[in-house]
């Protein structure tokens, strides 16, 4: 047996909830616009994928044909960046290059061959 009053009541409640959802979505959109207006833009650090970083490092070392420091390689990486980088972004790039050298040393791609002040000197393992 159907209950028309119950079905009608559920349809009315559904319509009310849809109206409330619409009001809430408008409020969320307004908040998102306000946040986007006042939020400080975060500087993106150019970060090639891990494989791209490995190719860049190995190619750069082959091109140089000798011993490289992580600072030299980080400067070469930064020169590829189209925009001016902040000091924090430059520090991140240098840290990524240093970490990459440590990883590639464990994998046998590069070897440490001394130091120059505080900088470690690196060369390709096959050279």
Q: How far apart are CA 81 and CA 115, in angstroms?
A: 28
The count of domains in the chain is 2
Q: Does residue 17 share a domain with residue 54? A: no
Indicate if 108 and 75 belong to the same structural domain: yes
The answer on 113 and 79 residing in a single domain is yes
Q: Which parts of the chain register pLDDT below 70?
A: 1-2, 40-51, 127
Residue 16 sits in the same domain as residue 62: no
57 and 115, same domain (yes or no): yes
* pLDDT the model gives residue 24: 93
Question: Which residue range forms the structural domain that includes residue 95?
Answer: 50-124
Considering the domain architecture, whether residues 119 and 82 belong to the same structural domain is answered as yes
Q: What does pTM read for this prediction?
A: 0.55
């Amino acid at each position: 047996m159907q209950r028309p009053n119950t079905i009608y009541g559920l349809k009315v409640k559904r319509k009310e909830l849809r109206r409330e959802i619409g009001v809430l979505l408008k409020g969320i959109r307004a908040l998102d616009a306000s946040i986007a207006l006042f939020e400080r833009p975060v500087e993106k650090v150019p970060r090639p994928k891990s494989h791209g970083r490995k190719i860049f490092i190995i190619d750069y070392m082959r091109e140089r044909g000798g011993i490289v420091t992580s600072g030299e390689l980080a400067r070469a990486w930064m020169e590829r960046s189209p925009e001016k980088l902040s000091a924090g972004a430059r520090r991140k790039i240098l840290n990524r290059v240093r970490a990459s050298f440590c990883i590639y040393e464990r994998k046998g791609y590069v070897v440490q061959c001394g130091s120059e002040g505080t900088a470690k000197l690196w060369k390709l393992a096959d050279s």
